[in-house]
Chain A
Amino acid sequence: MKVLDPTYSLTRPPVAPSAPLNSLGGKRVSFLDNGWASAGAIFTRLEAMLSNQKTPSRLLRKSIPLTGAAPPELLDEVAGACDAAIVALGN
């Protein structure tokens, strides 16, 4: 017998991520923290590593919701103030 497939098909053309940076030295890096305990543990060490570079990076920490999408205004703010972002998701 013939049956129809119940699952979805991907039809959206893929979008490439933004071009990488040459280095993080001297750059403004945003850390988007979803408030989970593990995110805090990462941030502490990230801050130390980026600060200890030959040309330290500036780290901007922002809180994002644990359970939903970050508000567009926050994303616009981060995009305007930073050169790169590290985002903590899930647990």
Chain B
Amino acid sequence: MELEKRGIPSVELVTSSFVKEAELVAKGRGMPGLRLVVLPANVEVMAEAELEAAASEAIQQAINAITGKAQQKRIVAKKGSGAGGILDIPDSPDRFYALVCEKRWGDGLPVVPPTPARVGRMFKYVDRAPDEVVADVAPAFGEATIRKIAVNAVMAGCLPQHMPVVVAAVEAMAAPEFNLNGIQATTNPVAPLLIVNGPARRDLDVNCSWGCLGLGWRANATIGRAIRLVLINLGGALPGDIDMAFLGMPAKYSFCLGEDEEGSAWEPLHVERGFSKEDSAVTVAGVQDMRNAAVSGTDVLSWLRVAADSLATVGNNDFWLGTGEPLFVITPAQSKALARAGLSKADVKRFLFEHSRLSLEKCLALTGGKREPGWRIVNGKLAPCEKPEDIMIVVAGAPETLHMMVMPTWGDTRAQTVAVRGKSKPHV
């Protein structure tokens, strides 16, 4: 599309698995007439004769498309209620749930009906007009207005006071460096992790402690879920259509925690990223895996070695692309023990960076000699990221020392931190 805008006729080759995504992005970016040629899936593993036939056919179609000899299918924008705004439906929770499932507006779980009254209440804590566009959500580039975000937040079960955090997270995900388009469409099981910092955690009762990555807390569950519904309903990312994650992962339902700043021995994540301690902020990170590192004993460096070892696998995308921001969730007690041993957060990052290397020889043995173009090889070892500062540390969880959580990231995404604007209020 960018070449088309520069006056160069072009044709996009996509396999059948990705054609819906290509059409959606083309529509969203305002070019429904984009020339597409569709190849069968798994071209690279076809038998030679089959490959020859498929490739020749595709190339001829591409040539025909560029030279105007093909009748290109015009991608018609779906007529839908998205433009209208209000639906009149039977007043029945069962019927509404069925409608949501039929239209694929949700995540498969029951949702709260977004009545005008409920949505109207969501504006109370947001200092922005309902029709203000916060972001265009890739890959459909649907406009995320305050109103549309509120509709999805209601469906997710959010309280009005959760809205400022939800809005900030949408803003953060829309930053080009986050690469939401890639995250939404990748075959990897990526979900945006939301990390809440500042006074909003206490105001909204965001769990930063026991089970903070699990269930049971309304703020964590619904704020994370609101983001997922925005990604579906405004970003178009439905499983198998646009969201091409082969397997997905449970964190795609909801993925939100707060940092235990009071329990941490170090400066909070948002302060590290340029905010003041008094600011409320949300960081979004493209996480694609979670690995428990069981760390025992009192040798703090052994904890870090075990955690680094948990990260270091050749199938980890941080290594595959070499540009990751692997994230470690360290408990408050662990952070204090590490600090007592003289380790700053930067020291811990450096240690993890040095100890999470993979030997090239081992990787080649595992891959049958195949060397991935993205491997970052330094002195015969693969690194998960460019430098120690790319490693992210969040302090959260139980005030104990037995577990760390190691989170590989997708690799071609940079975490973004945005201030939470608006008002917050104690949890009701």
Contact = CB atoms under 8 A, between A and B. Distances in A.
A17 B5 CA distance: 8
Contact of B91 (A1, A17, A35, A41): A1
Contacts of B77: 10, 14
B68 A20 contact: yes
Given A6-B151, A8-B143, A1 B5 contact: no
B313 interface: no
Given A24-B63, A86-B10, A4 B52 contact: no
A69 B83 CA distance: 29
Contact of A68 (B59, B65, B152, B412): B412
Contacts of B35: 17
Contact of B32 (A14, A68, A82, A90): A14
B15 interface: yes
Nearest to A82: B8
B227 to A, nearest CB: 13
Contacts of B274: none
B51 to A, nearest CB: 6
B85 A86 contact: no
Contact of B2 (A16, A75, A88): A75
Given A13-B30, A20-B66, A78-B8, A3 B96 contact: yes
B67 A49 contact: no
Chain A at the B interface: SS class: loop
Contacts of A18: 4, 7-10
A21 B13 contact: no
Contacts of A9: 80, 82-83, 142-143
Given A4-B86, A5-B85, A45-B55, A14 B9 contact: no
Interface size grouping (class) on chain B: 35 or more
A76 B410 CA distance: 28
Interface in A1-50: 1-24, 30, 35-42, 45-46, 49
B113 interface: yes
Interface stretch (B39-47, B247-255, B277-285, B377-385): B39-47
Contacts of A45: 52, 55-56, 59
Interface string B93-120: 0001000000001000000011110010
A38 B15 contact: yes
Contacts of B229: 6
B8 A3 contact: no
Interface in B223-263: 229, 233-234, 236, 244
Most chain B CB within a 10 A radius of its CB, from A3, A45, A90 = A3
A88 to B, nearest CB: 5
Given A3-B113, A14-B31, A23-B67, 20 more contacts: A1-B89, A4-B85, A8-B143, A8-B233, A9-B82, A18-B4, A18-B7, A18-B10, A19-B68, A20-B67, A42-B39, A49-B59, A72-B2, A79-B8, A86-B11, A87-B10, A90-B18, A90-B22, A91-B18, A91-B187
| Top 9 A-B residue pairs of the complex, sorted by shortest distance between their CB atoms | A8-B142, A20-B68, A90-B18, A37-B44, A9-B83, A38-B43, A67-B412, A79-B6, A85-B10
Interface of B: 2-15, 17-18, 21-22, 27-35, 39, 41-44, 51-52, 55-56, 58-60, 62-63, 65-68, 77, 80-91, 96, 105, 113-116, 119, 137, 140, 142-144, 147-148, 151-152, 155, 179, 181-182, 185-187, 229, 233-234, 236, 244, 321, 373, 410-412
16 contacts: A2-B86, A3-B86, A4-B85, A4-B86, A6-B114, A7-B233, A9-B142, A10-B142, A13-B30, A15-B5, A21-B9, A46-B59, A86-B62, A87-B13, A89-B12, A90-B22
